[in-house]
Structure 1
Amino acid sequence: MSRWFKHIAALLIFTLALGACSRVGLAYRNLDVIIPWTLGDYLDIKGEQKDWFNERLQEHLSWHCTTQLPGYLDWLDRLETMVQTNQVTDAALQARTAEAKQAIAETAREITPSAVQLLQGLDDKQVAEMNEAFAKDLRKRQREYLEPPLAQQIAERSERMEKRLGDWLGPLSATQKQRVVAWSNALGDQNTQWIANRAHWQQQFSAAVAQRTSPQFPQRIETLLGNRERLWTADYQKAYARTEAEARSLFVDLMAESTPEQRQRLLKKIEGVRKDFNDLKCLKAAQKP
């Protein structure tokens, strides 16, 4: 999987409370990690399709590394300044989140034409296998996130977040741990809206692919991949807005309670991301005069 894409996601996740990753690697291969519910996990690409896909992927990776990564470095600078100056506020987090979303949207738009061409070339068997993979994914997530009693869901969410935060800040204090518990309780049955929206998106995607010879297909895929918020369920739109607000509040409070050692650890992690980005050969080539 794309290590450095995942690490960008992890930085966003630290502010959005959506997930985490350990470190940046210098090799990456899947651009689709930034697209909702990665296509690569559901499509069995074979033969000439795979050769074509790999060629296009390399083109996209080159574009991304040379045109987008410099902006990511600037974004890291702004994030680092927030921590160094103790200006981790709700407004600042909203600004960083908006910048990150814009960067992700730009990449999604860039690779959508390739996704359209790939999907248009699928045969009926591949489409059937994709739909079954969607169904399998949904069943797995329902078992993991919906079947446990709500109290267990909330407790497990707290545990996951505490573990992720520990990677960035080190051990949390008792007060910080209590704040994480309060955050998880505030989200309540968020899993229900999340899984329902995931099923909703998969259904729309499958319906679009079933009509992949239609003249409207490219526009439909562009919306599904690049403007997915327009297709969210009403319940999930509300839940997502609440999730972002609760995450920002959590991060602000945690940083207000942070120790010098925790802030230093966070700055060191950010610096590690910057170093790994700067070490990428493609970025070095782009920075040459």
Structure 2
Amino acid sequence: MPVCLTNALRFSLVALLCAATLLGCSRIDLAYRNLDTLVPWSLGDYLDMNREQKNWLDQRLQAHLAWHCTTQLPGYLDWLDRMRAMVAEDQVTDQALQQRTAEAREAIARVTEAITPSAVELLRGMDDQQVEEMRQAFADDIRERQRTYVDTPLAKQISKRAERMEKRIKPWLGELNAAQRLRVQTWSQALGDQNRQWIANRAHWQQQLLLAMQQGVTPSFEPRVAQLLQHKESLWTQDYRKAFNNTELQARGLLVDLIKDSTPAQRQFLQERLSKVRTSFSELKCLKG
């Protein structure tokens, strides 16, 4: 199903790098080489593909991965160099992070645009049973996320969110000091009840895709799918738009303050981790080839 095709490729090909400073992937090279097998498993969460669809998807994924490695990864290496320079020159500022975020968003847009034709073609080949399976899978997805992230007291949501963030940061800065741990707590509190807006917006997007499927393959089908994949922010709910803007603002503030409160040893640790990420990508065989 294209939502997973988009999410898996977009996240794994782009955010795997662009969000690496928070996600802590220790074997990026291994993950990248195995995306062609990981993505179909992710697709299986939403769509029971037949053999013909699986074979077709495998060929498309190989082509997308080859394109991505040869044309996109070199730019990511430059992006990492700019990240390392920010840390080395003590220039981790809100303005600099906004620029890096804009660059990452542009990279994501390029990948999404490249894979949209494959997503459209996959959608066109779905039969009524597969569309119904997708509907049920979407409903299960929202129900599970609601149970995990919303149907708990807000204080617990805030606490759990802070715990998750500390785990993401630790591989990049090491053990946090008292000031940094407190800053993570205030960051989590500032996000408030954002889980509710995030899940509601996710459900809204899924319903928009299902509506496009219900209307059938018409002349408006391809541009509608392209909008859903490439310009999904145009379909955001007003509540989520506000929550998203606040999330980005709070995330930049958190990163700026974590670096400001970091020790020389932590900054050195971060530089070494960024260098390892860069080396992992630069040594990929597809890039050298």
CA shift at 1:31, angstroms?
10
> Is the contact between residue 7 and residue 21 of structure 1 (CA under 8 Å) also seen in structure 2?
no
Give the one of 79, 82, 94 matched to 1:78: 82
Q: CA deviation digits over 1:179-233, x for unaligned, max 9?
A: 0000000110010110110110111111112224111111111111111110100
Any unmatched runs of 5+ in structure 2? 1-6
Q: Give the C-alpha shift of residue 9 in structure 1.
A: 2.2
Q: TM-score, normalised by structure 1?
A: 0.90
Query: 1:28 is matched with which residue?
Result: 34
Match among 54, 57, 60 for residue 56 of structure 1:
60
CA shift digits 1:119-139 (9 cap, x unpaired): 100111111111111111111
Please give the per-residue CA displacement for 1:151-199, whole angstroms capped at 9, x wherever unaligned: 0000100111111111111000001000000000011001011011011
SS of aligned partner of 1:43? coil
SS in 2 for 1:147: coil
1:259 counterpart residue number: 263
Query: Which of 115, 119, 124 is 1:120 aligned to?
Result: 124
Q: Deviations over 1:76-104 (max 9, x none)?
A: 00001001111000000000000000000
CA root-mean-square deviation: 2.3
1:149 and 1:73 map into 2 onto residues whose CA distance is 42
Q: Is residue 107 of structure 2 the alignment partner of residue 103 of structure 1? A: yes
Structure 2: how far apart are the matches of 1:3 and 1:259?
Answer: 36
Q: 1:192 aligns with which of 169, 193, 196?
A: 196
Of 167, 172, 181, the match for 1:168 = 172
Q: 1:20 to 1:40 in 2, by over 3 A?
A: farther
Return the alpha-carbon distance in structure 1 between the equivalents of residues 11 and 254 of structure 2.
24
Pairing 1:282–2:261 present: no
- For residue 146 of structure 2, what is the aligned residue in structure 1? 142
Change (3 A) 1:102 1:138: same
User: Which residue of 219, 237, 241 maps to 1:237?
Assistant: 241
Instruction: Give secondary structure in 2 for the equivalent of 1:25.
Output: helix
Percent of aligned positions with the same letter in both sequences? 57
Alpha-carbon distance between aligned partners in 1 of 2:195 and 2:10, rounded to the nearest angstrom? 27
Distance 2:269 2:213 in 1: 46
Structure 1: 5+ residue runs without aligned partners? none
Give the counterpart of 1:93 among 91, 97, 103.
97
Instruction: Give the direction of change, closer, same or farther, for the CA distance of 1:212–1:54 in structure 2 (3 Å limit).
Output: farther
Aligned length: 279
2:184 is equivalent to residue 180 of structure 1: yes
